[in-house]
Structure 1
C-alpha cells in the first residue's frame, strides 16, 4: 500500500515504511554529479525496490533523471498510466507479452533475440506506429542479451532492415555487468572490451543509437570508463550501497530512503528458562522482559535473521529472540519495560543509532537489495517530502 502524507488516510499503527523523497532526490543529484557526462536512468522496477514506484519515479525526474527503467512491461505501462512522461525502458519480455500496448505507450523495448524482434514487429504492424527498440548484448553476464558473433550480427541486421522500413527506431545498445560490485574482478574489463566491440560492429553497420549503456549502480559509482551515454542506477537511488566492499552510502554521498518501524504490541515479564517462539531456539537466560514486535516474514522480515536481526527499542539495540514467525517476532528487552506502542525501529539511515538495511542483510546472509525489496504490501509506504516539501 502506498500512502502520501498530504491529506492522507490514517496509517496503520502496527507498522510503516517511511519513504524520504527528499533523500531520494538528493541521491539522484549525487549520482548525476558522479556521472556528469551521462544521462541518468532511475530504475524503479519491483515497485521502486519496495519504495513505491510512482512517487519515487516522480521524485527522480524532479531531481534530473531523464529515463525511468523497469524490468517488466507491466511496470512500464503502469508508470505511463500514472502520467509519467519522458523515456521509459523495460527489458524483461516473454513470448506473448503486451508488445502492442508498449508500442502505443511509447515505451523503449529491449530485444535480446530474433523471436522478440519478430513479435515486436507484428505488434508494430497492428498498432500502425513505429517502436522504440534497444538491442541488448550479452557481454558476459550469461543472462539476457544476444550472444556476440553470428547471433548479434543477425539481430543487428534484422533491426536495421526494420528501421529502414520505418517500423522501428533503434534507440539504444546496451548490456549489463556481472561483477561490477567486485572492484578489480577480471570480468569487468573483459565485458567492457566485448561491449565496445559489439557497439563498433552495430555502429559500423549503420546503427545510430540515442544511448549506449552498461553501467549499473556499482559501475556508476566506481567505473567512470563505463558511463558511456547513460547510467542505470537502481539501488543507489534509494541510498543503499551496492556492496559494502565498495563503500558505505555516506562514502558516495547517498542517504537511505526507507525507514521501517513497528509498534511494540506487548511487553511482559518472564522468568529465566522461558522458551521463546517456535522451536524454543531461544530460552531466557534469567528473569527478563520480552517485547512483541508485530511484523514477520509475511511482511518481508527475513526468517533467516531469526536470532540475529537487530532492532532499536527504547534507544537500545536488541536482537530478535528465537524464530521470526509469519506475523511477529520477539526481542529480549533485558528487564527494560517500554510501554506498549513504543517504537521499534528495524532499519533506517542510522542517524539515531538504529540498524540499517545492510545490518539486516548481514544478519540474514543476503544483500540489502533484498531487505528493502521484500517488505510486503501489509506495510504501508508513507511518502514524505513530496513535491513542494523537503527541498527538491
Structure 2
C-alpha cells in the first residue's frame, strides 16, 4: 500500500513526483551540445513541473537565462528572488510595462505598437527597457512580418537614441525544427539572416541573436547563434526521438487503487459502455481523470502500470477517475498506479500518453491539475536513486 503526500497534510489522490536531479542532468546535457548560452523555458509553471523549484535547479545547473510567456509569470519569478536574466515574450500593446521594466525583465517586441507601449512604460519606470525584436520568418504567429520589420527597426533605433529602450536581442521561431531536413528551416534561416542584416545596417547592435528551440538545439546546430531556448527537452522529452541525446524524464504521475471489484464477461465499463470485458476480470478504480491531466481523448487505448505490468484503461476517462482492467492480477486497495513515468521499468511514458491522445507531451504536462500534489526529489551528486525528497 502506498501513501501520497507528506505527514500532517491532506493526502492527495494523485501526485506528480518531479525529479530535480533529472532536470539538472538535462540542462547539463543540452548545454554541452552548444557554445551558445542556454535559456530554459519555464512558462506555464515550468510545463507543470513547478516554476520556482525548476528555475532554481536549471540556473544552478548552468542555464544562463529563463524564458516565460506573460508579465505575471515573470514577476512571480522576481518575487521568488530569481535574479537571473529573464525574457518575456507575449503581451498586449496597452499593458502597463513599467513594473516589468523596473524589475529588469527583457521584453519581446513584435510590432511598432508593442514597442511604443514598452517605451512608455520605460519612461514611467525611469530606466530603459531591454527588448528583443522578434521577426516572423515563417511561423505566421508572433513577430513582425517582412513588410513591418523596417518600420520596427527604425522605431527601435529612435527609441534607443533617446534612452527609452536598448535592443538587446533579435530573434525568431522555427515552424519545422522537429524535422531538421525540412526545407522550411532553410527558408526561415535565410529570412532571419536578411532581417538581422537589415537591423545591423540601421545601427542596431544586439548582443543576443537567437532562433533555436529544443529540436533545433539538437538537430540544427547552424541555428544556435548566441542563445538557444530549451523548453520540452529540459523536462526530459527527447525533441528528436530518432536522435536521442540521453535526456532523463523528470516527472512521474502516480496514484493508487481505491476500489476493486470482480465482474463477469460482457460487463460494460464507464459511460456509454464503449468497453465490454472479454472474460471474468478484476476492475481497479483509480482516482485520476481529465481534471487531473489524464486526457479524455486517450480513452480506449491508454494503459497504466500496476504490479509490474501495463494494464488497459477500460472505457472512457471521466473527470475524476478511470477504471483499469487488471485481469487476474491480485490487485488490492492502496496499490500504486503509475500513470506515466520515465519508462525504465516498462511503465507508460508521457510520450505514450501523448500518442494515445493525439497530442504532444507539452499538453499532457501542462494539463496536470492543481489538485494533483507535487513532490520534489532533490539534485544529488551520486547515482539516481529515486528515494530522496525535498520540500521547495
With structure 1 as the length reference, what TM-score do the two structures score?
0.94
Match of 1:189 among 186, 200, 217: 186
* Matched residue, 1:29: 28
* Matched residue, 1:38: 36
* Matched residue, 1:385: 378
* Matched residue, 1:170: 167
C-alpha deviation, 1:9, in angstroms: 5.7
* Matched residue, 1:361: 354
C-alpha deviation, 1:97, in angstroms: 2.2
* Matched residue, 1:142: 140
Could you tell me how far apart the structure 2 residues matched to 1:94 and 1:202 are? 23
Tell me how many residue pairs correspond in the alignment.
380
SS in 2 for 1:382: strand
C-alpha deviation, 1:13, in angstroms: 4.6
Confirm whether residue 120 of structure 1 aligns to residue 128 of structure 2: no
* Matched residue, 2:207: 210
User: How does 1:156-305 map onto structure 2 within 5 Å?
Assistant: 156-244=153-241, 246-247=242-243, 251-305=244-298
Could you tell me how far apart the structure 2 residues matched to 1:8 and 1:290 are? 30
Could you tell me how far apart the structure 1 residues matched to 2:381 and 2:129 are? 36
Could you tell me how far apart the structure 2 residues matched to 1:360 and 1:189 are? 32
* Matched residue, 2:98: 100
CA deviations on 1:190-240 (whole Å, 9 max, x unpaired) are 000111111111112111112100000000011110000000000000000
SS in 1 for 2:32: helix
Q: What stretches of structure 1 move > 6 A for 4+ residues in a row? A: 387-391
C-alpha deviation, 1:271, in angstroms: 1.0
Alignment gaps of 5+ in structure 1? none
1:390–1:144 Cα change, 3 Å = farther
1:124–1:388 Cα change, 3 Å = farther
Could you tell me how far apart the structure 2 residues matched to 1:343 and 1:106 are? 45
Q: Give yes or no for contact 1:21–1:390 (8 Å, CA) kept in 2.
A: no
Could you tell me how far apart the structure 2 residues matched to 1:9 and 1:351 are? 32
Could you tell me how far apart the structure 2 residues matched to 1:372 and 1:240 are? 11
Alignment gaps of 5+ in structure 2? 385-392
Q: Give yes or no for contact 2:170–2:210 (8 Å, CA) kept in 1.
A: yes
Could you tell me how far apart the structure 2 residues matched to 1:98 and 1:54 are? 24
Report the more deviating stretch, 92-101 or 257-266: 92-101
CA RMSD in angstroms comes to 1.7
* Matched residue, 1:336: 329
**Higher RCO (C-alpha under 8 Å, 6+ residues apart):** 1
1:98–1:243 Cα change, 3 Å = farther
Q: Give yes or no for contact 1:18–1:259 (8 Å, CA) kept in 2.
A: yes
Match of 1:58 among 56, 59, 62: 56
C-alpha deviation, 1:372, in angstroms: 1.3
* Matched residue, 2:389: none
Q: Give yes or no for contact 1:73–1:98 (8 Å, CA) kept in 2.
A: no
Could you tell me how far apart the structure 1 residues matched to 2:128 and 2:344 are? 50
1:12–1:129 Cα change, 3 Å = same
With structure 2 as the length reference, what TM-score do the two structures score?
0.94
* Matched residue, 2:65: 67
C-alpha deviation, 1:242, in angstroms: 2.5
Could you tell me how far apart the structure 2 residues matched to 1:388 and 1:109 are? 36
Q: Give yes or no for contact 1:173–1:212 (8 Å, CA) kept in 2.
A: yes
